[in-house]
Structure 1
Amino acid sequence: MNEYDVIICGGGPSGATTAFYAAKAGMKVLVIDKSKFPRDKACGGLLTARLFDELPELEKYIKPIIECPSRDVNLYSPSMKYKIDFEFPEGTPWNITREVFDNAVLEAARDVGAEILTETRVRDFEFNGGVTVQTSNGDFKGKMVIGATGPNDKLATMVREKRNIKPWNDNQMGTALMWEPVVGKEFVDKTFSDSRSLLVHFKPGGIEGYGWVFPKKEILNIGFGGYNRTIKSVKIKEIWEDYINLLKEDGYFPKDQKTPPVKGAPLPLDGPLKATTMDYTLLIGDSAGMVSPLSGEGIYYGMHAGKLAIKTIKAALETGDYSQKHLDQYHRDWNEVFGKELRDLSFFALMALKLPERMVYYGTRDEKLCEIFADLFLGVTPGGLGKRKPITRAIFDAIRYPYFGLG
């Protein structure tokens, strides 16, 4: 049986990035994923500009497959009474399709020496002075293992049990549902202009979340996401049809096209886990809850964590110390870089999703507040803005622009 320095379970952006940097560092790496690539995933498909600041080594693989930038956003309140038209001052988001993007990052890992094993299901783990990963294609031995398969990661469940962390519930989990119909470049150019304006609707169908249209070259990424505590109480198909009809009425979707089907994916929205390691094991990305509770964006956090993990993996290989205590350095490293940011975003998600009508109302009157929320959504400020500046501005607007409505 071949032995690897590190086995990564999950070939999405988080796992593939970890594999890329580990292989570049000279490690023997195996990536295992259940899917056949290229494969799609329910996601808005936006990259924040800081991704390239933190991961410049991957830029040559990613830049060629970017669809287009988006330079502004149109954001509607739940009642449609208030609308914000906001041009991004900096940190323009980049549009990608996950099918192409995920495959590109995985191929980047292969390009620098990582072994890739797809269409293979992980069945179990045996820890025996290392770890044996039992799969549908045989067993594989590694000195360490990385969990990067998402919110239902088996390794994450094992870490939770080991570290006394309760499973996520419907108040902490969300669902993202989307589809990418091809509508043609002519329609996208005419409707969303060269700016490829993003479209956001708060609380579609009463869901505690938001709906979106993110235009690509010839495709519209249409979807909505929110907390399971409200999504599970509604009829998804009806809300999806109502949302598409709303877009048709407003001219954002071709009237002659049939309502596209919808697909979904789970989304952790409670911030990162309080522990992301155990003996021989690290958790990366969605498996560790590294997702913005405000925007649902997790690509940047997972990929950045994958790069940060290399320092700890390398030290473990050099010392032969794979203990939880030693591997906790990884947890401290990512927590120092963006842990507080994710915890702050949990607070702002509560404020924005509980009072969206009010927040959009204030945004129509205060461009500075729009800049603050654009920063929170796109992560322009390294490490996050903190709580003081956004809260102070919201209080200022509440005093200056009295609001007497609901929500």
Structure 2
Amino acid sequence: MNSDDIYDVVVIGGGPAGATAAQELARQGHSVLLLDREGRIKPCGGAIPPRLIRDFDIPDHMLVAKAQCARMIAPSSKHVDIPIENGFVGMVDRAEFDEWLRERARGAGAVRQSGQFTQLQRDADGTTRVSWQPKGSRTPMSARARSVIGADGARSEVARQGGVPGAEKTRYVFAYHEIVRAPEPAERSADYDGARCDVYYQGRFSPDFYGWVFPHGGTLSVGTGSADKGFSLKGSVARMRKASGLDGLETLRREGAPIPMKPLPRWDNGRDLVLAGDAAGVVAPASGEGIYYAMLGGQLAAQSVHELLTTGDPASLKLARKRFMREHGTVFRVLGIMQWFWYGSEKRRERFVKICEDRDVQQLTFESYMNKKLVRKKPMAHVRIFLKDVGHLLGMARV
């Protein structure tokens, strides 16, 4: 390629959002350049629900484990095991999964380039010039673009340089995890279950979020997050590994990054650029789930760019956020309230885990999670959950 090449779209960032957007646009016949920082892996538990597997055609061989139970652990160490009935939650290793998505985009026709994004500039003819520094080279490279998708993660530099209004207006949880080798059968405690996700709602592991131990087949993801900059995430993970009997296992990778907890108020610059994934702030509060929402956001960003390239109307770029919030905005608002209230103290965390014992809560929560839709078919169950929730809020329910 040379610096005068003009692409219909340059996608900056090759995580689930960027790779999905690149694949979608390439399949529609657009010329696409996918730029990614080689070797960058986001800290992530790696859980993907059945709807993602269905909607984005994820083959079974990409699943390194299939979780069939979630254990919610209270500050008192009391726990609630929630079986995943009639299904499973797929687990992926982000190092392998993200690269597979990028290669799928290349197979659809996208051109791949590896390097660190450096600059957006406007050329005289109105196209945008995207510049980057290739890994291992002192010679910068650039390409021209009719449109740009910024999928470069939280605190997006593409959003800042591209002039997206309000790009700085979001909140972050700082996440950190360690990928450790799973224990051999002889090393496992009687309580170990390689098909169970453990979620710790304990202030010693996070003062405002949660800690996790998620199975990845031959490995485990042990991590936590917090918005408290004075809280030691590495120290928390060390304590969690010890509490879980995993402190003696080999550590294979360590990764950390800011995770957004609120969608940005605007995802486009009104001209030729739209955001997707963490750059747009689409990680679910309370749960921290991001892979499904990133891939959906990438798909919606691709749709909006396709309409821009087809019609020439920059207003098309607003459709990505509008369509996303219409489908998932209510869930994000509810989860944001949940995180603010239930994670606020040890007493509230204890009551939150207690609520999870309820079969109505378990069934409706997992049906909504697995299918990414609010379940409305059982109104009396919602009434019962509301009454029980009020009881716990007012402290009238027994813990």
Q: What TM-score, normalized to structure 1?
A: 0.84
Q: Which residue in 2 is equivalent to 1:134?
A: 131
Identify the residue that residue 352 of structure 1 maps to in structure 2: 342
Given that residues 19 and 34 in structure 2 are in contact (C-alpha distance below 8 angstroms), is that contact kept between their aligned partners in structure 1? yes
What displacement does 1:35 show?
Answer: 2.0
Deviation at 1:359, TM superposition (A): 1.2
Q: Indicate conservation of the 8 Å contact 1:188/1:215, yes or no.
A: no
Q: What does 1:174-253 correspond to in 2, within 5 Å? A: 174-184=173-183, 186=185, 192-193=192-193, 196-205=195-204, 206-226=206-226, 228=227, 230=228, 232-248=229-245, 253=246
Q: Could you say what secondary structure the match of 1:44 adopts?
A: coil
Measure how far apart 1:392 and its partner are. 6.1
What is the Cα deviation at residue 384 of structure 1? Answer: 7.0
User: Are 2:7 and 2:33, in contact at CA under 8 Å, matched by a contact in 1?
Assistant: yes
How many angstroms apart in 1 are the aligned matches of 2:240 and 2:366?
24
Aligned-partner residue type, residue 163 of structure 1: P
After superposition, the Cα gap between the structure-2 partners of 1:92 and 1:133, relative to the gap in structure 1 and judged at 3 Å, is same
CA 1:383–1:313 in 2, change beyond 3 Å: closer, same or farther? farther
Residues in 2 aligned to 1:238 and 1:165: alpha-carbon distance in whole angstroms: 31
Say which of 270, 287, 292 aligns to 2:279: 287
The separation in 1 between residues aligned to 2:306 and 2:253, in whole angstroms, is: 45
Residue by residue over 1:111-154, the C-alpha shift from the partner in whole angstroms, topping out at 9 and shown as x without a partner, is 11111101x11111113422111222312101000000101211
2:207–2:343: 8 Å Cα contact kept in structure 1? no
2:122 counterpart of 1:122 = no
Is structure 2 residue 280 aligned with structure 1 residue 277? no
1:11 is matched with 14
* Structure 1 residue 211: Cα displacement: 1.0
Deviation at 1:189, TM superposition (A): 10
Where does 1:305-320 land on structure 2 (aligned, <5 Å)?
A: 305-320=297-312
- Residue pair 1:147, 1:155 contacting (<8 A) in 2 also: yes
Does 2:102 correspond to 1:111? no
1:150 maps to which of 147, 150, 153: 153
Residue 163 to residue 90, structure 1, CA distance change in 2 (3 Å): farther
CA distance in 1, matches of 2:335, 2:282: 11
Match 2:396 to one of 394, 398, 402: 402
Cα distance change, pair 23–367 in 1 and its aligned pair in 2 (3 A): same
| Counterparts of residues 332-343 of structure 1 (less than 5 Å) | 332-343=322-333
Q: 1:383 to 1:144 in 2, by over 3 A?
A: farther
In structure 1, the partner of 2:55 is 54
Q: Name the SS of the counterpart of 1:277 in structure 2.
A: coil
The answer for the alignment partner of 2:136 in structure 1 is none
Aligned length: 378
The 2-side partners of 1:261 and 1:104 are apart by: 19
For 1:201, give the aligned amino acid. Y
In 2: Cα distance, 1:200 partner to 1:164 partner: 33
Aligned counterpart in structure 2 of residue 370 of structure 1, from 347, 353, 362: 362
Structure 1 Cα separation of the partners of residues 235 and 22 of structure 2: 41
Query: Greater helix share, 1 or 2?
Result: 1
SS of 2:213's equivalent?
Answer: strand
**Does the Cα contact within 8 Å between 1:185 and 1:217 map onto a contact in 2?**
no
Q: Distance in 2 between matches of 1:348 and 1:257?
A: 34
Change (3 A) 1:106 1:316: same
What code does the residue aligned with 2:355 have? Y
Residue type of the alignment partner of 1:27: H
Question: Structure 1, residues 214-235: CA drift from partner, whole Å, max 9, x if none?
Answer: 1122111111123x1x3x2223
State the alpha-carbon separation in 2 of the partners of residues 28 and 54 from structure 1. 24
Q: Is 1:93 equivalent to 2:89 in the alignment?
A: yes
- Cα separation, 2, equivalents of 1:275 and 1:121: 25
Measured after TM superposition, the shift of residue 54 of structure 1 is 2.3
User: Structure 1 pair 285/392, CA: closer, same or farther in 2 (3 Å)?
Assistant: farther
Amino acid at match of 2:179: E
1:267 aligns with one of 259, 263, 273: 259
Task: Provide closer, same or farther for how the CA distance between residues 45 and 190 of structure 1 changes in structure 2, counting only shifts above 3 A.
Answer: farther
Shift of 1:238: 3.1
Displacement of 1:335:
2.2
Aligned to 1:24: 27
CA distance in 2 between partners of 1:191 and 1:216 (Å): 17
Residues 54 and 304 in structure 1, CA contact (< 8 A), matched pair in contact too:
no
Look up the SS of the partner of 2:258 in the other structure: strand
- In structure 1, distance between residues paired with 2:118 and 2:45: 30
Identity of aligned residues (%): 25
3-state SS of paired residue (2:177): strand
| Structural RMSD (CA) | 2.7
Give the C-alpha shift of residue 262 in structure 1.
Answer: 4.3
Structure 1, 367-376 or 8-17: larger mean CA deviation: 367-376
Instruction: Indicate if the aligned counterparts of 2:70 and 2:196 stay in contact, CA closer than 8 A.
Output: yes
SS of residue paired to 2:75? coil
The counterpart of 2:66, out of the listed 59, 66, 69, is: 69
- Counterpart of 2:169? 167
Answer yes or no: is 1:380 the counterpart of 2:371: yes
- Aligned pair in 2 of structure 1 residues 181, 314: CA closer, same or farther (>3 Å)? same
